[in-house]
């Protein structure tokens, strides 16, 4: 696509052609004038790859966050780590790919670039049905593309007879790994029988 500001043939360094030099100067003036007019709300809008914002709306938000939640009960088997199946997304500015239809427990975090350190902040809140038996645990599961486990990160564990079994929240930094394809928020309970999660939500923010 031809740049609308590129009205003349580019100046060739070393050229002695006066018309070429004048055309190049006019071209540069046109670009600069269009940029200045753009900031004033006229002419060509300024648009930079490293900024990518128009009228205060970023094409690629500098702060990528997502929040998913579950508002209905999910029954958790005894002594079995179980991924929470989220039902809806409150917001997602690009940090994850997620489906409420298929494998709704899987959080596919989008990678930016192929190298360098990656880190994410996970914040989980959930409400257990009332019971003071056994223990409760929240962990982040990491999974490879072939659906084999890459390991877990324990966020919170509460042992028998500890107070406030119902509402539990936990936050942790998770380091990205090129071998990990998706993440799950997993819960475990040791009441000796099935126990339900009344509701839950998770927030995810890209740090690096």
Q: What average pLDDT does range 32-41 have in this prediction?
A: 64
The pTM of this model reads 0.70
107 touches 96 (CB < 8 A): yes
| Domains of the chain and any CATH numbers | 1-56 (no CATH), 67-206 (2.60.120.680)
Which pLDDT belongs to residue 123? 95
C-alpha span between 190 and 133 (Å, rounded): 7
pLDDT, tens only, 169-197: 899 999 888 889 999 999 999 989 999 99
pLDDT, tens only, 42-100: 655 555 555 555 666 666 666 789 999 999 999 999 999 999 999 999 988 878 899 99
Total residue count of the chain as it appears in this document: 208
pLDDT, tens only, 120-156: 999 999 999 877 788 899 999 999 999 999 999 999 8
Range with the poorest average pLDDT among 5-9, 107-111, 190-194: 5-9
74 touches 196 (CB < 8 A): yes
Largest distance between two CA atoms of the chain: 90
């Amino acid at each position: 696509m031809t740049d609308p500001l590129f009205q003349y043939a580019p100046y060739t360094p070393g050229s002695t052609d006066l018309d070429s030099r004048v055309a190049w100067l006019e071209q540069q003036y046109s670009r600069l004038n269009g940029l200045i007019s753009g900031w004033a709300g006229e002419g060509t809008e300024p648009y930079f790859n490293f900024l990518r914002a128009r009228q205060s709306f970023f094409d690629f938000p500098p702060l990528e966050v997502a929040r998913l939640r579950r508002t209905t009960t999910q029954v958790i088997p005894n002594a079995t780590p179980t991924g929470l199946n989220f039902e809806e997304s409150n917001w997602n500015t690009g940090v994850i790919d997620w489906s409420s239809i298929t494998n709704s427990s899987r959080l596919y975090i989008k990678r930016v670039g192929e190298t360098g350190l990656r880190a994410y902040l996970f914040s989980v809140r959930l409400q257990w049905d009332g019971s003071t038996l056994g223990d409760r645990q929240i962990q982040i599961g990491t999974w490879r593309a072939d659906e084999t486990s890459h390991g877990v990160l324990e966020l919170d564990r509460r042992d028998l007879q500890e107070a406030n079994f119902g509402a539990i929240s936990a936050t942790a930094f998770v380091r990205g790994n090129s071998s990990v394809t998706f993440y799950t928020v997993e819960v475990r309970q040791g009441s000796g029988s099935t126990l339900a999660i009344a509701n839950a939500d998770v927030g995810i923010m890209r740090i690096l």
